[in-house]
A and B are shown apart, each in its own frame.
Chain A
Amino acid sequence: MDQLIVIGAGPAGLAAAVSARAVGRPVVLFDSSDYLGGQYWRHLPPERPARRESVLHHGWERFQSMREQLEADPRCEVVTGAHVWAIDHGRIHVMVGEADGTDREARVYDAGAVVLATGAFDRALPIPGWDLPGVFTAGGAQALAKGERVRVGERVVVAGTGPFLLPVAASLVRSGSTVVGVYEASRASRLVRHWTARPWELLATPHKVLELAGYASSHIGHRIPYVTGHAVTAIEGRDRVESVTISAVDGSWRPIAGSERSVAVDAVCLGHGFTPRLELAIAAGCRLSAERFVEVDDEQRTSVASVFAAGEITGIGGVDLALVEGALAGHLAAGGRLHDPAVRMLRLRRGVLRQFARRLARAHAIGENWTTWLTDETIVCRCEEVSFASLCSAATTTRSSGLRSLKLLTRAGLGACQGRVCGRTVEGILGARTPQGRLSGPRTTDRRPIAAPIRLGELARQGERTTSTKQRP
């Protein structure tokens, strides 16, 4: 039987691989990291063993059992250091080796059946001074704490929106930082409105509610001020973070004049939601939803019949939903039946968790007036150092509504990260300033045919040295 290719070994990808193996399908599991677990279970490498690493994690046993099962399974090929850099004409192109290496092994796989589980990364909105050293994304601080045991600062402020800020603050505290506060920009009234709407839905996910409540009431929670309706609206320092300005914001995230106060910190962690990693799905031809996630049907199947998707690329839903979607995608992509009793349970659970995710998304939506905290000089595109004023000026001087043209005019999104960090922010800022109030044309900043950087020499050699893997019966 054809192998199933699973791209991404976070919760969704691991669950997909396990359930595909349960149906008997051989699996190839790729991850660009050198260890499994994804961002959620980012952990120390085996060279740095610890007796109680589990205290940093939720669901650590589940992870360990999936990992051990897959690594021990001769019919599951686990390929770490696997940088999937392109998908064309039903072929998956992978460079295997160290990150940003110069002489990695080129492999090409037939995309006979694929589960995309490429996950998401933290979105950070621009703030004056956010380009100073000492500013991290919330997930970055978390990754450094879990994967490096590095604490990003002594006195740290966590700001943005969403429940993910809480575990980040907790892991900062467990790393010895003082968290001066967690500032949630959504106002309490909004949170309450969405959390108390249709309360019966929450009965189906009591553990999720308890998990969130648990952070707030735990001994760690007690040591961290959690403040709603407030945002870090400026970050100050000469060559590194020295202080932040915290402001009360209204329901649209517009700072309220007179509410500013300055707090001395040496690190800032920002998280304004998540951006799905869509480049491979787009390269594979998968249709996106209006909300810019991979569209999947009841079977987790994308618009491309042989390609399934699971986890955060189908909608930001957290680890439980990722595990359920992964299990479903793996089972069905491997040829399992939709009407298996076990699958019925997963589908029910998926429905409940998706409701929960929608509730979170509504409660923590980005306020439409957040750009009022920007100054003309605030860098929006970090790579190309494109300021807010120059983006606005490009839109108004050309009166262009074309994303491609405006990007090329300003270089926003054309730098090393290829718009991963600023893309959606740039689209929002430009769109609001076009004559029609929106960008025209189908192209978005999510399209990246080269999904990971590759050296020209590797590209030149891939033709002649490619290991073509086709296992046909």
Chain B
Amino acid sequence: MKVLIIGAGIIGAACARSLARRGVDVTVVDRGSAVGATSAAGEGNLLVSDKAPGAELALALYSLELWETLRRELAREVGPQFASIEFDPKGGIVAAIGSREAEGLTRFADEQRRAGVDARVLGVDEALAMEPELSPSISAAVYYPQDAQVQPTIAAEALLASARGAGAHVLVDTVVTGPVRDADGRLTGVTTSNGPLMADHVVVAAGPWSGEVARTLGGTLYVGPRKGLLLVTSRMPQRIFHKVYDASYVGAVQSDDHVLQTSTVIESTASGTVLIGSSRQNVGFDDAIDVAILGEIAAKAIRLMPFLSEVSIIRAYGGFRPHSRDHLPVIGPDQDVAGLWYAAGHEGAGIGLAPATAELLAASLLGETPAMSVEPFSSGRASLVGTPR
């Protein structure tokens, strides 16, 4: 069987690996270079803390399990010459400011705990002992030991290298321009800037561009861009030990607001820099770095960790999250076009959800029984197609 995957980001790379290891003849195409867009523009979040009980949380818990073995397999498969994916089970601390936020946070943690998340409510003193730079004015905090981080670009490259090792091919600088269909209307390949590519199945894993690519191939997928900006500090001695969020991050992730939102997420990286985020904006593919938004991110970060005021910011970068209107990824076939599949719409969670997504996609595509229900991720679900805008 031949499968063509469109998009060489982390989702495409993970799908390529899962399929190639099942003996499928896989080709990954990307219009640019591999791992050049969304997967190279994020923090590398493997989070449960920001997810409300439901399908996405179940997917995240399943994916975390997979990461545990995956990281060891990857290290073995790509060899010692390959850069480390920097897997770090550092845990997350979500802090609230003000009593209303505190109530919301502890209630949310209770619900998560019932859904199987390890969510431990901390006293303010406990939180300050774990993160000494947290503002003493926080009103509540919850510790999520399961939250982890990888270096997303290296993780995606490692998945791609592993897929290649299992026989997958990667074609870069190749733009998909249209469908190739047989007499029954089934998708049997795509036309590209470098000629046609034939396949038994085509998987769209083009991140925020997935909606566009689906349209090009005659399918329907409501996934588009949601812009985010991040700040990077100069290197410093480590003063931040977990992923640290303000409680509004949870609301922002699951919010549907059109206008700008910023909420704080702060963490150190293995190289000694600190990442400070983040914003969410529905502004299409406008990649301008907006100073006013950076200012808002900065102000909120300082409120949570006052020492950051004097740190030096050396870089800002932006990227586009693949946004689906109900904040759930789409994993499965197109509703109308036979042979067309989707693995897209993970918003800011794609790094964490990649292994589970790939396993579910591969299982569905090959007619195996998936490890969990894929129904909530159907491209035809009501919460997604409802009233298209």
**Residue positions of A touching B, CB distance < 8 A:** 86, 88-89, 91, 93, 100, 102, 283, 384, 393-394, 397-405, 408-411, 414-416, 418, 436, 439-441, 443, 448-450, 453-457, 459-463
- Could you show 17 A-B contacts with beta carbons less than 8 Å apart? A88-B289, A93-B291, A398-B34, A398-B157, A398-B160, A401-B33, A402-B35, A404-B36, A405-B34, A405-B35, A409-B154, A414-B315, A441-B33, A455-B309, A456-B276, A456-B311, A456-B313
Q: Are B312 and A400 in contact (CB under 8 A)?
A: no
Instruction: Give the shortest distance, in Å, between A133 (CB) and chain B (any CB).
Output: 20
Which residues B275-314 have CB closer than 8 A to chain A? Answer: 276, 288-292, 294-296, 298-299, 301-302, 308-314
B79 interface hit (Cβ, 8 Å): yes
On chain B, the residues within 8 Å of A86 by CB distance are: 289, 291
Interface contacts beyond A397-B79, A416-B234, A441-B36: sample of 14 additional A-B pairs, CB < 8 Å, sorted by A: A88-B290, A93-B291, A393-B81, A402-B32, A402-B35, A405-B157, A436-B173, A448-B315, A450-B289, A450-B314, A456-B233, A456-B276, A459-B231, A459-B295
Instruction: Give the shortest distance, in Å, between B175 (CB) and chain A (any CB).
Output: 12
Name the one of B78, B164, B231 contacting A456, with C-beta atoms under 8 angstroms.
B231
How far apart are the CA atoms of A463 and B296 in the complex, in Å? 8
Instruction: Give the shortest distance, in Å, between B184 (CB) and chain A (any CB).
Output: 36
Name the one of B154, B156, B291 contacting A88, with C-beta atoms under 8 angstroms.
B291
How far apart are the CA atoms of A457 and B306 in the complex, in Å? 9
On chain A, the residues within 8 Å of B161 by CB distance are: 397-399
On chain A, the residues within 8 Å of B291 by CB distance are: 86, 88, 91, 93, 462
Q: Are B299 and A460 in contact (CB under 8 A)?
A: yes
User: Interface readout for B134-161 with A: 1 if CB under 8 Å, 0 if not?
Assistant: 0000000000000000010110110011
Q: Name which residue of chain B comes closest to A416, CB basis.
A: B234
Given A86-B291, A415-B235, verify A456-B301 contact (CB < 8 Å): yes
How far apart are the CA atoms of A163 and B294 in the complex, in Å? 43
How far apart are the CA atoms of A123 and B80 in the complex, in Å? 33
Instruction: Give the shortest distance, in Å, between A386 (CB) and chain B (any CB).
Output: 11
Instruction: Give the shortest distance, in Å, between B130 (CB) and chain A (any CB).
Output: 22
**Residue with the greatest number of chain B CB neighbours at <10 A, chosen from A89, A393, A397, A410:** A397
- Give the size of the chain B interface in residues (CB under 8 angstroms): 51
Q: Are A440 and B83 in contact (CB under 8 A)?
A: no
Given A416-B235, A460-B298, verify A449-B317 contact (CB < 8 Å): yes
Instruction: Give the shortest distance, in Å, between B288 (CB) and chain A (any CB).
Output: 6
Instruction: Give the shortest distance, in Å, between A387 (CB) and chain B (any CB).
Output: 13
On chain A, the residues within 8 Å of B310 by CB distance are: 102, 455-457
**Residue with the greatest number of chain A CB neighbours at <10 A, chosen from B151, B276, B292, B298:** B298
Q: Is the interface of A mostly helix, strand, loop or mixed?
A: mixed
How far apart are the CA atoms of A411 and B271 in the complex, in Å? 9
Given A400-B157, A409-B153, verify A441-B32 contact (CB < 8 Å): yes
Q: Name which residue of chain A comes closest to B311, CB basis.
A: A456
How far apart are the CA atoms of A408 and B81 in the complex, in Å? 16
Instruction: Give the shortest distance, in Å, between B140 (CB) and chain A (any CB).
Output: 24
Q: Are B40 and A404 in contact (CB under 8 A)?
A: yes
Q: Are B298 and A397 in contact (CB under 8 A)?
A: no
Given A455-B310, A460-B295, A463-B296, verify A402-B33 contact (CB < 8 Å): yes
How far apart are the CA atoms of A405 and B170 in the complex, in Å? 15
User: Interface readout for B30-66 with A: 1 if CB under 8 Å, 0 if not?
Assistant: 0011111000100000000000000000000000000
On chain B, the residues within 8 Å of A416 by CB distance are: 234-235, 314
Name the one of B81, B295, B318 contacting A397, with C-beta atoms under 8 angstroms.
B81
On chain B, the residues within 8 Å of A404 by CB distance are: 33, 35-36, 40, 153
On chain B, the residues within 8 Å of A415 by CB distance are: 235
Instruction: Give the shortest distance, in Å, between B44 (CB) and chain A (any CB).
Output: 10
Instruction: Give the shortest distance, in Å, between A416 (CB) and chain B (any CB).
Output: 6
Name the one of B160, B309, B318 contacting A460, with C-beta atoms under 8 angstroms.
B309
On chain B, the residues within 8 Å of A283 by CB distance are: 289
How far apart are the CA atoms of A454 and B315 in the complex, in Å? 9
How far apart are the CA atoms of A148 and B81 in the complex, in Å? 46
How far apart are the CA atoms of A400 and B154 in the complex, in Å? 11
Q: Are B82 and A453 in contact (CB under 8 A)?
A: no
B252 interface hit (Cβ, 8 Å): no
B316 interface hit (Cβ, 8 Å): yes
B172 interface hit (Cβ, 8 Å): yes
Given A397-B79, A402-B35, A440-B173, verify A462-B295 contact (CB < 8 Å): yes
How far apart are the CA atoms of A405 and B316 in the complex, in Å? 16
Q: Are B78 and A397 in contact (CB under 8 A)?
A: yes
Name the one of B40, B83, B173, B313 contacting A453, with C-beta atoms under 8 angstroms.
B313
Given A88-B288, A398-B160, A405-B153, verify A457-B40 contact (CB < 8 Å): no
Q: Are B40 and A399 in contact (CB under 8 A)?
A: no
Q: Name which residue of chain B comes closest to A403, CB basis.
A: B33
Name the one of B151, B160, B173 contacting A408, with C-beta atoms under 8 angstroms.
B151
Instruction: Give the shortest distance, in Å, between A457 (CB) and chain B (any CB).
Output: 3
Name the one of A89, A100, A453, A460 contacting B290, with C-beta atoms under 8 angstroms.
A89
How far apart are the CA atoms of A441 and B37 in the complex, in Å? 10
Q: Are A456 and B32 in contact (CB under 8 A)?
A: no
Q: Name which residue of chain A comes closest to B41, CB basis.
A: A404
How far apart are the CA atoms of A463 and B329 in the complex, in Å? 36
On chain A, the residues within 8 Å of B317 by CB distance are: 449
How far apart are the CA atoms of A234 and B115 in the complex, in Å? 62
How far apart are the CA atoms of A460 and B288 in the complex, in Å? 19
Given A408-B154, A453-B234, verify A400-B309 contact (CB < 8 Å): no
How far apart are the CA atoms of A463 and B290 in the complex, in Å? 12
Q: Are B172 and A440 in contact (CB under 8 A)?
A: yes
Q: Name which residue of chain A comes closest to B270, CB basis.
A: A411
How far apart are the CA atoms of A404 and B318 in the complex, in Å? 13
User: Interface readout for B188-219 with A: 1 if CB under 8 Å, 0 if not?
Assistant: 00000000000000000000000000000000
Q: Name which residue of chain A comes closest to B160, CB basis.
A: A398
Q: Are B36 and A405 in contact (CB under 8 A)?
A: yes
How far apart are the CA atoms of A290 and B170 in the complex, in Å? 28
Q: Which 10 A-B pairs have the closest CB atoms?
A: A402-B33, A457-B309, A449-B289, A408-B153, A460-B298, A460-B299, A459-B298, A402-B36, A405-B35, A463-B295
